[in-house]
C-alpha cells in the first residue's frame, strides 16, 4: 500500500509517517518492477508497527524508547526478560514523573493558600 492508504488505515498523517521513517522506526520499500516512480510501499507489518508507535507515544514513550521497543518486539534478539526490563524501566520513569507532578501540585497549592490568606 502507498502512504495515503497507510495513513487512512492507521489514522496517522502522511507527514508523521514520513517523520517515523526518517527516524528509522519504519521502512517503506520500493517495488523493483516499477521504474516510473519512486513511491514507497508499505506492508501489514508497517501497519502493526505504526499502531504500536501510536500506543507507545500515547503513554509517554520517546522516539528513542519506541525504537528500542520496536527492536525488542520485531527483531527476536531480545529475550522475554529483556522485553520486560524495557517495560519495567518505563514504569519506573512514569512513577518518577508522578512523584514530580505531586510535588509540583503541593507547591502550587501552598502558594495558592498564601495568596488566599494574603500572606504574599
Could you state, in order of their start, the residue ranges of all structural domains in the chain?
Answer: 1-78, 81-120
1-78: which CATH topology? Multidrug-efflux Transporter Regulator; Chain: A; Domain 2 (1.10.1660)
Considering Cα of 104, then 107, then 110, then 116, what sign does the dihedral take? negative
Q: Read off the pLDDT of residues 52-96 as tens digits, 9 standing for 90 and up.
A: 999 999 988 899 989 988 988 888 888 889 888 888 988 998 999
What pLDDT score does 97 carry?
93
* Contact partners, residue 79, CB within 8 Å, separation at least 6: none
* Contact partners, residue 114, CB within 8 Å, separation at least 6: 120
Q: What is the pTM of this model?
A: 0.71
Reduced to 3 states (helix: H, G, I; strand: E, B; else coil), residue 29 is strand
Q: Read off the pLDDT of residues 36-63 as tens digits, 9 standing for 90 and up.
A: 677 889 999 999 999 999 999 998 889 9
- Return the C-alpha torsion angle 53, 58, 59, 65, nearest 10: 30
Burial class for 78, CB neighbours closer than 10 Å (0-12, 13-18, 19+): middle
| Alpha helices (H) along 59-79 | 63-74
Amino acid at each position: 500500500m502507498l502512504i495515503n492508504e497507510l495513513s487512512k488505515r492507521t489514522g496517522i498523517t502522511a507527514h508523521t509517517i514520513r517523520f517515523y521513517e526518517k527516524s528509522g522506526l519504519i521502512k517503506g520499500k520500493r517495488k523493483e518492477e516499477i521504474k516510473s516512480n519512486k513511491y514507497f510501499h508499505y506492508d501489514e507489518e508497517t501497519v502493526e508497527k505504526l499502531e504500536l508507535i501510536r500506543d507507545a507515544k500515547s503513554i509517554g514513550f520517546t522516539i528513542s524508547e519506541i525504537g528500542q521497543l520496536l527492536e525488542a518486539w520485531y527483531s527476536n534478539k531480545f529475550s522475554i526478560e529483556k522485553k520486560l526490563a524495557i517495560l519495567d524501566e518505563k514504569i519506573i520513569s512514569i512513577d518518577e514523573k508522578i512523584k514530580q507532578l505531586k510535588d509540583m501540585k503541593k507547591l502550587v497549592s501552598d502558594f495558592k493558600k498564601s495568596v488566599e490568606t494574603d500572606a504574599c
